[in-house]
Amino acid sequence: MNKMLGRVTGALLALTLSTGLATAASKVTIAIGGGACLCYLPTVLAKQLGEYEKAGLEVELVDLKGGSDALRAVLGGSADVVSGYFDHCVNLAAKKQEMQSFVVYDRYPGLVLVVAPSHNKEINSVKDLAGKKVGVSAPGSSTDFFLKYMLKKNGVDPTATAVIGVGLGATAVAAMEQGQIDAAVMLDPSVTVLQGNHADLKILSDTRTQHDTLEVFSGEYPGGALYSTSAWIAGHEKETQALTNAIVGTLAWIHAHTPEEIMAKMPEELVGKDKALYLAALKNTIPMYSQTGKMDPKGADAVLAVFSTGSPEVAKANVDVSKTFTNKFVEQVKGTTGTGTK
pLDDT at 140: 81
Determine how β-strand 57-63 pairs with β-strand 26-32: parallel
Lowest mean pLDDT among 54-63, 158-167, 301-310: 301-310
Strands (E), 16-166: 26-32, 57-63, 81-85, 99-104, 112-115, 133-136, 162-165
pLDDT at 25: 79
Lowest mean pLDDT among 207-216, 229-238, 333-342: 333-342
Please give the average per-residue pLDDT across 207-235, as a whole number.
91
Torsion 171-123-188-205 (CA) sign: negative
pLDDT at 335: 55
- Please determine, for residue 340, whether its predicted confidence score (pLDDT) is greater than 50: no
Lowest mean pLDDT among 9-13, 100-104, 308-312: 9-13
Lowest mean pLDDT among 37-41, 94-98, 216-220: 216-220
Q: Is the peptide bond before 189 cis (omega within 30 degrees of 0)?
A: yes
Please give the average per-residue pLDDT across 66-73, as a whole number.
88
This prediction has a pTM of 0.82
> For residues 135 and 138, what is the distance between their CA atoms, to the nearest angstrom?
8
Please give the average per-residue pLDDT across 106-128, as a whole number.
95
- Please determine, for residue 210, whether its predicted confidence score (pLDDT) is greater than 80: yes
Lowest mean pLDDT among 125-134, 182-191, 305-314: 305-314
pLDDT at 16: 39
pLDDT at 24: 66
Reading phi first (left if > 0) and then psi (alpha if -120 to 50, else beta), residue 5 is in alpha
pLDDT band at 337 (very low <50, low <70, confident <90, very high): very low
Question: Strand, coil or helix: what is 103?
Answer: strand
Interval 10-35: pLDDT, tens: 444 443 334 443 456 799 999 998 88
- Please determine, for residue 165, whether its predicted confidence score (pLDDT) is greater than 80: yes
Query: Average pLDDT, whole number, for the chain?
Result: 89
Give, in order, the Cα–Cα distances in Å from 97 to each of 91, 94, 323: 9, 7, 11
Percentage above 70 pLDDT, the chain: 90
Interval 274-309: pLDDT, tens: 999 999 999 989 999 999 999 999 999 999 988 887
